[in-house]
Structures are given as C-alpha cells and as structure tokens.
Chains A and B, each alone.
Chain A
C-alpha cells in the first residue's frame, strides 16, 4: 500500500471540506473494495477521508412512501432491519446475499453504489426500484446515476448521503452467484409499481447494470414469470469470462428474471 494522509471527519460538512481542499483525496466507506485495491497498488490515493465516524450517514427510516437508507449503513444492518423487512422485504434478503458475514459487517450500501461494480447486487435494486441517490449536493435518479463499469454520475468530492427507495407493490431479486467470489454472475431485480414494471440486470452487461426493457414491457402487460417466456437478452451486450460466456449469461438473465418475479409474488 502506498502512503496516504488519513482524515476521520465527524460530519458530512467536514468531509466535504476535506475533499474540496484536496483533489487527490478518496472517500473510504466500508473499505471492502478500496482497501484491497490499495493493497495491490492499483489505487494510491494521496489522502483518505474515512466516513466511518460520520453518524449522520447511518440509519434506516421509512419516510412517507419511501424507504431511506443512510449511505454508511452496512449490508448486515440492512439485512437485519425490521424497517427494511417491513417495507421491501426482498431488499433485506438481497443484502443477506452479498459476500460473507464478515464482509456484510463492514461493507456499506453507499460504498457499493458509488463503486458501481458491474457484478454488485445493490445497483440492480437501485435501478429496478427507481431509487434516488441523494448526495451532499443534489438528488440523482437511478436512471441518471449508473454510467458504465465502475462509473457513476458522482463528481469529484461528491458524497452519497443516503438512498431513497420508493416502496413498490412488488420487488424480487434472484442471483446466480459465482461461488468463489459470491458476486453475481447474473443478478436480476424486478419491481412493480402500479401496473408498470422495471427490470434491472447486474453481473451480466458489458457496460454494467442495465434495464431489460423488453421484459419490463411484458411484465407491465402481465406480471408473471410466464410473461417472460421467449424474451431474449442480447448476448452481444453481455460480459464473457472464464466463469461464463456471453451466451450463457444472456440465457441466465431470462432464468433469473423468472425466479425474481416468482419470488416477488
């Protein structure tokens, strides 16, 4: 690991000021992507701004028709939250499927969304649920947030403060996990609000998380796993690696989408 200066701010305002004063500063959330990357010297930030002691970034509340989760809330906290289980139970279930228990005790929803790993679980939920990413500067709709592999609409120094999930009629998430890494080889999140449906796919797309609009149309007409029969996903836009080629991933999108709909009920 390369040397860095370390800061432990207590508030979002202090963190933002530190980030604004140092263009080479990097935010540390749960650290379960950034620290391994730094150990391999694939990243060498000059300054680390650790958000772990910013109390205002933690916590889960239901606010009107939205479930609001603080950015520094861990996966274990989401998984175990009665508020999440009551509002969007399968979102709590999704959190139980991230990594292993130790990772879930440190990894955070804000860190996961900001990192936008193409095989991470939360981006699919954020996109399918049409969530809003709230930062210290603005609110960003999910459709405008994810910009490709490890790329988001976040600007330098911008801090995700919370995620706001409109509570849907139905939500489900099915994941075919790569058994060693426990990342999604393919994960599909489906949500129904009123009569409209949203379908988001992670792990598969060569540009990261994406919406499967043909499936959205079919589920909008009739919400059932059978509605998805015969709807293909373009293998030309899928990732391909040692764990699964693009045709295999494209096929799995259909399988996981049906399972997600079945789970959503």
Chain B
C-alpha cells in the first residue's frame, strides 16, 4: 500500500538536497511549490500524489486520505486558491503552485473563523473528515459569499463525506463560519 510504507522504505527525498537527487535519468522529477507560504523544492518519484507529498514529504498530516478514489473529500486542500482533492493530483503537476493545507489556516495561534465555527458548533465527531470539510467550507465562501443558506451548503458539500455526524452540525458550522469570515473581513478593513 502506497500510504502505509514503513519509515525504512521511505524514499529519502525529504532529506536529500534536490539538486543532487534531480540528476537526469534517475526516474525522479523536480518540483517546486509553495506550501502554506513556504517555498519547497523536492525531487520526487513521479507517482507521488499531492496528498502524499504533503503528508510524507512535508510531514503535514492534517490532510487525510479517506477513500483514495476522489469521492470523500478528506484530502481537500487549496491549490492556487481553489479546493482540490489532493489524492487525485500528481505532486509533479503542481510545480509553481501555491498549496494551502489545514495547517496553514490559523494565524498567530488564533484559529481561522471557519475552524472556530466547527469547534463552537461541534461540527464533527471522529474528526477524520474535518480538515477536508473546513478547506471545502472556506472554498464555498470564496465562491458563494459569506451569507449561505442551508440548501446551498448541503449541495456544495456533496464532495465531502462524513460518516459520523449526519451533517447537521457541519452545516450549522459552515454557515456560522461563513458569517464569521464576513465579520472578520470587515474588522480587517
């Protein structure tokens, strides 16, 4: 299984200097991208999925692998400002891109308004789908604005599956988080 390698099996790309590993003909590909504002360059196996790169190379394990078949949305991150399923993107394709993961949301020790809303409304039970839910919720706000009705939220969350909650509190959290994003934007102006 691709995602359950032992540490001893792991390719040494995280530690190796990119220039040394990227020599022609060794089967690797060089990729440079920004992860949560930090520029990253690595030499990777072309098969590396973006979610693997984030979890195993960058060691940011907030982004989850749920179904690994682009159905469940646990792996959603923002790529150049848009929500994507990182289990269905090659890391090599993201060269030059800007990736934001759940770890990139909180600023100065303060939760993002959408994270705060999930906490306040208990929009989770086991929490496995939550990072993807929150990244999707912010994407919904980016596309649909901060005043979201319930039907819109439920429809827009069709790419994110939660097997615990029945969605009720998630929908409440997304709506509240959207409204909070509106007030925090106004406060910033």
Contact = CB atoms under 8 A, between A and B. Distances in A.
A50 B27 contact: no
A127 interface: no
Contacts of A6: 29, 46, 90, 92
B143 A106 contact: no
A101 B143 contact: yes
A105 B89 CA distance: 11
Contacts of B56: none
Nearest to A99: B159
A25 to B, nearest CB: 13
A8 interface: yes
Contacts of A102: 70, 73, 76, 83-85, 136, 139, 159
B70 A36 contact: yes
Contact of B46 (A32, A39, A48, A53): A48
A8 B89 CA distance: 14
Given A3-B27, A3-B47, A6-B46, A32 B88 contact: yes
Contacts of B92: 6, 8, 50
Interface of B is mostly: mixed
A103 B95 contact: no
B93 interface: yes
Contacts of A1: 2, 47
A106 B46 contact: no
Interface residues of B, number: 31
Interface string B14-35: 0000000000000101000000
Nearest to A48: B46
Contact of A8 (B68, B69, B93, B136): B93
Given A6-B90, A28-B90, A53 B156 contact: no
B108 interface: no
A35 interface: yes
A52 B93 contact: yes
A31 interface: yes
B47 to A, nearest CB: 5
A3 B143 CA distance: 37
Q: List 5 A-B pairs, minimum CB-CB distance, nearest first.
A: A100-B159, A6-B46, A105-B82, A102-B85, A1-B47
Given A8-B29, A35-B49, A102-B76, 5 more contacts: A8-B93, A31-B90, A36-B88, A39-B68, A101-B140
5 contacts: A5-B46, A8-B29, A28-B90, A35-B90, A102-B83
